[in-house]
C-alpha cells in the first residue's frame, strides 16, 4: 500500500496539501492533490527535490507541470507495467503447470493400461483382451484431450508473453522520454550512447555526438518567466523530433536547456549538415504572445560536434563535444564547431 498514514496524520497532511495547492495555478483535482500530499508527507525524496528546485526559482506549478512531475516521480509507467507483467506471468505459469500436471497423470494411467493390455495379449485370453482394448482406447482419448489442452495453454501463453513484451517495450520507452519535449531524457541518452559505442561504425563513417545549448536561456527565464522558457524548450524539442529521425539518429534532452544528438555510423559531413539544419530551424523559431501574437522571443542554439575515437570512453567523448560547444559560445553563439 502506497499510503499508510493514520487518520489524524492524513488529516494534517490534507490541510498542508491544500495550503500548497492554493499557492499555485493548477486545478484542484486528484492528480494535483496526490502531488502535494506526497510532497508535504515527505515520503518521496525525488519529488521533494524537484518541487523545491522549482519553488526556489519562484516557478508557478500549473496543470502541465503537475502532470510532468507526477509522470516522473509519482506514477512511473515502468513500475506499473512490471507489476502487471509479474502478475500475468505468474497466472500463466500456474495455468500451464496445472495442465502439465493433468497431462502427466493421464500419461501415467495410459502407461498402466498399456501394460495391462500387453499382459492380456501375452496370455492370449480373449476374455481379458477386449476390456483392456476398450480401456486403452478411452485412455487414448483422454491423453489426446490433455495434450491438446496443454498445447492450447502453451500457445495462449506464447501470445500473452508477446503482448506483455510489447507492453514492456512501450513502458521502457516512456520511462526514457523527457515529458516536456518528447525526446529522450538523460537516462535514455546514456543508454543509447552506450549501445552506440558498443558497435563499431561502418568503414568510412564514425559515431558522432552533437551537444547543443540554447543561447541566453537564463535571460529568457529572467525576462519572460519559466512558462515562456518551457515553451522555448518545447519548441526545440519539436525541431529535434522533426529533424533527427531514427534510425539515422536520436535526440535527447541532456539537462536543462542542453540537448544532445546521437548519430551512429555517420560521416562528419552529414553530421554537420544535420546539425546546421537544426540550428537554422531553431533560428526561425519565434515564441509569441498567444493573445496578441507579438513575438516575445527569438531563439538560437550553439553546438559542438565530436566523432568517437575507437576505444574512447563515453565521458571523454561528451567532454570533447562540450568543449566544441563552449568554443561556439566563445565565438559568438548561434554557430556549430567541430571538435
One domain, residues 164 and 70: no
One domain, residues 65 and 105: no
Active site residue 257: yes
Question: Does residue 1 belong to any structural domain of this protein?
Answer: no
One domain, residues 141 and 41: no
- Name the domain boundary from 75, 91, 107: 75
- Name the domain boundary from 46, 75, 104: 75
One domain, residues 125 and 169: yes
Question: Does residue 180 belong to any structural domain of this protein?
Answer: no
One domain, residues 67 and 210: no
Query: What is the residue range of 19's domain?
Result: 7-75
One domain, residues 146 and 258: no
Question: Does residue 325 belong to any structural domain of this protein?
Answer: yes
Question: Does residue 181 belong to any structural domain of this protein?
Answer: no
Taking Cα atoms as reference points, which of 140, 143, 141 lies closest to residue 117? 140
One domain, residues 90 and 111: yes
Question: Does residue 62 belong to any structural domain of this protein?
Answer: yes
Residue of higher predicted confidence among 124 and 73: 73
Alpha-helical runs (H) found in 177-248: 186-197, 217-224, 226-243
Peptide bond between residue 247 and the one before it cis (omega within 30 degrees of 0)? yes
- Phi (first) and psi of residue 337, to 5 degrees: -125, 135
Indicate the number of domains in the chain: 3
Residue of higher predicted confidence among 111 and 229: 229
State how far the Cα of 88 lies from the Cα of 94, in Å rounded to an integer. 10
Give whichever of 114-118, 119-123, 245-249 has the largest mean pLDDT.
245-249
One domain, residues 228 and 297: yes
The pLDDT assigned to 1 comes to: 44
One domain, residues 222 and 319: yes
Residue 84 contacts by C-beta under 8 Å, 6 or more apart in sequence? 164, 167
Taking CA atoms, 337 is separated from 240, 252, 276, 290, in Å, by 18, 19, 10, 35
The pLDDT assigned to 291 comes to: 86
Of 33-42, 203-212, 297-306, where does mean pLDDT reach its minimum? Answer: 33-42
pLDDT in tens, 308-333: 999 999 999 999 999 999 999 999 99
One domain, residues 191 and 333: yes
Tell me what the mean pLDDT of segment 162-179 comes to: 65
Question: Does residue 84 belong to any structural domain of this protein?
Answer: yes
Question: Does residue 114 belong to any structural domain of this protein?
Answer: yes
One domain, residues 213 and 250: yes
One domain, residues 101 and 15: no
| CATH number, domain containing residue 268 | 3.30.70.270
Do 17 and 33 touch, CB atoms closer than 8 A?
yes
pLDDT in tens, 11-20: 788 888 888 9
Question: Does residue 319 belong to any structural domain of this protein?
Answer: yes
In terms of phi and psi (left: phi > 0; alpha: psi -120 to 50; beta: otherwise), the region of 264 is: beta
Strands 301-307 and 336-338: parallel
The pLDDT assigned to 123 comes to: 63
The catalytic position among 203, 257, 270, 312 is 257
3-state secondary structure of 111: helix
- Name the domain boundary from 119, 148, 175: 175
Residue of higher predicted confidence among 59 and 132: 59
Tell me what the mean pLDDT of segment 116-138 comes to: 60
Does residue 239 carry a pLDDT above 50? yes
pLDDT in tens, 246-272: 677 999 999 889 999 999 999 888 999
Amino acid at each position: 500500500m502506497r499510503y499508510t498514514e493514520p487518520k489524524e496524520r492524513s488529516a494534517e497532511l490534507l490541510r498542508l496539501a491544500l495550503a500548497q495547492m492554493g499557492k499555485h495555478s493548477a486545478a484542484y483535482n486528484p492528480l494535483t492533490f496526490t502531488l502535494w500530499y506526497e510532497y508535504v508527507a515527505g515520503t518521496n525524496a525525488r519529488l521533494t527535490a524537484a518541487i523545491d528546485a522549482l519553488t526556489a526559482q519562484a516557478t508557478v506549478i500549473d496543470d502541465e507541470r503537475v502532470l510532468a512531475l507526477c509522470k516522473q516521480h509519482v506514477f512511473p509507467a515502468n513500475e506499473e507495467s512490471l507489476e502487471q507483467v509479474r502478475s500475468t506471468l505468474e497466472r500463466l505459469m500456474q495455468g500451464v503447470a496445472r495442465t502439465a500436471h493433468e497431462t502427466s497423470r493421464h500419461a501415467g494411467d495410459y502407461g498402466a493400461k498399456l501394460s495391462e493390455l500387453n499382459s492380456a495379449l501375452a496370455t492370449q485370453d480373449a476374455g481379458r483382451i477386449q476390456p483392456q482394448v476398450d480401456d486403452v482406447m478411452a485412455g487414448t482419448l483422454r491423453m489426446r484431450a490433455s495434450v491438446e489442452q496443454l498445447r492450447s495453454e502453451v500457445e495462449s501463453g506464447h501470445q500473452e508473453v508477446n503482448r506483455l513484451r510489447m507492453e514492456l517495450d512501450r513502458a521502457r520507452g516512456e520511462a526514457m522520454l523527457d515529458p516536456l519535449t518528447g525526446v529522450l531524457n538523460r537516462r535514455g541518452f546514456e543508454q543509447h550512447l552506450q549501445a552506440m559505442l558498443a558497435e563499431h561504425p561502418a568503414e568510412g563513417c564514425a559515431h558522432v555526438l552533437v551537444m547543443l545549448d540554447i543561447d541566453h536561456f537564463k535571460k529568457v527565464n529572467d525576462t519572460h518567466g519559466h512558462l515562456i522558457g518551457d515553451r522555448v524548450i518545447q519548441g526545440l524539442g519539436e525541431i529535434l523530433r522533426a529533424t533527427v529521425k531514427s534510425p539515422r539518429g536520436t535526440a535527447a534532452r541532456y539537462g536543462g536547456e542542453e540537448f544532445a544528438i546521437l548519430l551512429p555510423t555517420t560521416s562528419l559531413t552529414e553530421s554537420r549538415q544535420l546539425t546546421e539544419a537544426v540550428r537554422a530551424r531553431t533560428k526561425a523559431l519565434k515564441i509569441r504572445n498567444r493573445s496578441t501574437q507579438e513575438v516575445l522571443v527569438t531563439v538560437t542554439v550553439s553546438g559542438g560536434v565530436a566523432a568517437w575515437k575507437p576505444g574512447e570512453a563515453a565521458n571523454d567523448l561528451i567532454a570533447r563535444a562540450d568543449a566544441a560547444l563552449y568554443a561556439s559560445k566563445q565565438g559568438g553563439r548561434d554557430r556549430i564547431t567541430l571538435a
